[in-house]
Amino acid sequence: MKIAVAGIGVAGAYLMNQLSDNHDIHVVGFERMKEEEHDAVCAWATSKNVMVDYTRKCGLDFDNYILHDGKKMSVDLGESKHVDIGLRGMVSYDKLKLIQDMIKGTEINYGKAPKKDNLESDFDLIIDSTGFHRNYLPKLDYEMWIPCVQYKVKYNSNNNIPYDDFYLKGFPSMSGYFWYFPLGNGYAHIGAGDFTRKNHNLFVEHFLKKYKCEIIKKNGRPVRISPPLKSEPFYDGRKSIGVGESIGTVYPLLGEGIIPSTICADLFVNNLNDFKTYRKQVLKHFDIYPLVFKFILMKITGTFNLVKNSLDLLRIYHHMKNNQDRYGMEVKIADMMKVSSI
Ligand SMILES: Cc1cc2nc3c(=O)[nH]c(=O)nc-3n(C[C@H](O)[C@H](O)[C@H](O)COP(=O)(O)OP(=O)(O)OC[C@H]3O[C@@H](n4cnc5c(N)ncnc54)[C@H](O)[C@@H]3O)c2cc1C
């Protein structure tokens, strides 16, 4: 079987690694960026507790990619409200290097975003792992995404490093947040996403002026937060099937897609010949996402009511409390209430 993997992000790299080991498959990757410009546009934060296992499956050691091991995330909620979240496994890691190591020895065509027709004539199956772009799948009637901007920066002296650990500032109505994620040795990712488009650029510019630094690069892209349930079809009925953010595997509360997209790729590898089971398993694995998405939507539109929607909030809390290692942080009901009150 000839398989094209279109898009070499976390999902595509994992697929290339795992499918290349299968002798019944000839897998070829396509990445629209040139090799020297290939990037991983993302703040690079994840939970090492989960990534260790998926990285090991690829024959690699996640510890070699960790840049900063978090102890505490300071969350500014505005109006003098603040929470400190204890971290238990949240790290920043060299996402690009891990992608590059996962695809070592596999066949990748860089600088290529092939037309769907061309891929259809050359391959038996096209995997759309193009993330936000979703180029090879039917357009969605409804989707929601958050525009984001990000800088990689370097602080040249210890004195002007703004924070020594993870820092977030939530925007009103939970429409997004600003992040400062340390990358070790004075480097950091600073960026922001805001559904209302009001705060993110403004806040990042303000931060850059306040804390003088060397700008290494600027990038950004939207992140899809509508869940898999709202990102169907996963399969176009011909040859294309989606894996990763292209089918909504991003945790809407955090805009966190590295682990979900890797898990999605793993579900695909395990069900390579059974798309129905793959679809079922994706919807089952991410079954909390529609509720979390609804919560964010209600917050943004001002329709969230703590009394009426308390059970929803409680379900989200229980999900995260039961999966603290998965999220790499301590989850407390008091923090959840504070965060949801902005
Ligand atoms: C600014 C920002 C910060 C983020 N920070 C975090 C974070 O700290 N932690 C976290 O867990 N998640 C974060 N996310 C979300 C996370 O990055 C994504 O959800 C995750 O990377 C999705 O993985 P993916 O492989 O599905 O898609 P992507 O990682 O987006 O990869 C898609 C790849 O496809 C390529 N491509 C696109 N179109 C085509 C085409 N037509 N042909 C060929 N190639 C194509 C792209 O160049 C890219 O390399 C962030 C997102 C953004 C935008």
Compute, in angstroms, the gap from residue 32 CA to the centroid of ligand 1. 12
Residues 75-120 have pLDDT tens digits of: 999 888 899 999 999 999 999 999 999 999 999 999 989 999 999 9
Residues 263-291 have pLDDT tens digits of: 999 999 999 999 999 999 999 999 999 99
What mean pLDDT is predicted for residues 115-143?
A: 96
What mean pLDDT is predicted for residues 117-139?
A: 97
% of the chain beyond a pLDDT of 70 = 100
| Whole-number Å distance between alpha carbons of 260 and 237 | 24
Residue type, 297: L
Please give the pLDDT value at position 201: 87
Compute, in angstroms, the gap from residue 141 CA to the centroid of ligand 1. 21
* Sequence-ordered list of residues with C-beta below 8 angstroms from that of 203, at least 6 positions apart, any chain: 169, 171, 178, 192
Please give the pLDDT value at position 197: 82
Residue closest to 134 by CA, chosen among 201, 222, 36: 222
136-140, 195-199, 297-301: least confident range:
195-199
Q: What is the mean pLDDT of the chain?
A: 96
**Cα dist from 53 to 49, 156, 207, whole Å:** 8, 35, 36
Please give the pLDDT value at position 199: 79
For ligand 1, what atom is nearest to the CA of residue 11? 25
* Ligand 1 contact via 33 beta carbon (within 6 Å): yes
Residues 212-265 have pLDDT tens digits of: 999 999 999 999 999 999 999 999 999 999 999 999 999 999 999 999 999 999
Residue closest to 111 by CA, chosen among 40, 13, 31, 39: 31
* Ligand 1 contact via 131 beta carbon (within 6 Å): yes
Contact 5, 119 (CB under 8 A): no
User: Could you count the other beta carbons within 10 Å of the beta carbon of residue 157?
Assistant: 8
* Ligand 1 contact via 194 beta carbon (within 6 Å): no
Given the candidates 3.50.50.60, 3.40.640.10, 3.40.30.10, 3.40.50.300, the CATH classification of the domain at 2-145+223-340 is 3.50.50.60
* Ligand 1 contact via 89 beta carbon (within 6 Å): no
Please give the pLDDT value at position 14: 98
Residue 133: alpha-carbon gap to chain centroid = 14
Take atom 21 of ligand 1 and give the residue whose Cα is closest: 258
Decide: helix, strand or coil at residue 181: strand
If you ran DSSP here, which 8-state letter would residue 26 be given? E
* Ligand 1 contact via 130 beta carbon (within 6 Å): yes
For ligand 1, what atom is nearest to the CA of residue 130? 34
What mean pLDDT is predicted for residues 130-147?
A: 96
* Ligand 1 contact via 224 beta carbon (within 6 Å): no
Compute, in angstroms, the gap from residue 255 CA to the centroid of ligand 1. 11
Compute, in angstroms, the gap from residue 171 CA to the centroid of ligand 1. 23
In order, the DSSP letters of 132-172 are GG-TTSPPPSS--EE-EEEEEEE-SSGGG-S-SSEEEEEPG
Take atom 41 of ligand 1 and give the residue whose Cα is closest: 113
* Ligand 1 contact via 128 beta carbon (within 6 Å): no
Q: What are phi and psi of 130, to 5 degrees?
A: -85, 10
Please give the pLDDT value at position 280: 98
| Whole-number Å distance between alpha carbons of 223 and 249 | 10
Q: Is the pLDDT of residue 313 over 90?
A: yes
What mean pLDDT is predicted for residues 296-315?
A: 94
Q: Is the pLDDT of residue 158 over 90?
A: no
Compute, in angstroms, the gap from residue 58 CA to the centroid of ligand 1. 19
**Helix or strand run (H / E) with residue 296:** helix 289-301
Please give the pLDDT value at position 115: 97
Please give the pLDDT value at position 200: 83
Compute, in angstroms, the gap from residue 158 CA to the centroid of ligand 1. 31
Spell out the domain ranges in the chain: 2-145+223-340
* Beta strand pairing call for 81-86 and 72-78: antiparallel
| Whole-number Å distance between alpha carbons of 93 and 234 | 29
* Beta strand pairing call for 72-78 and 187-194: unpaired
**Helix or strand run (H / E) with residue 69:** strand 66-69
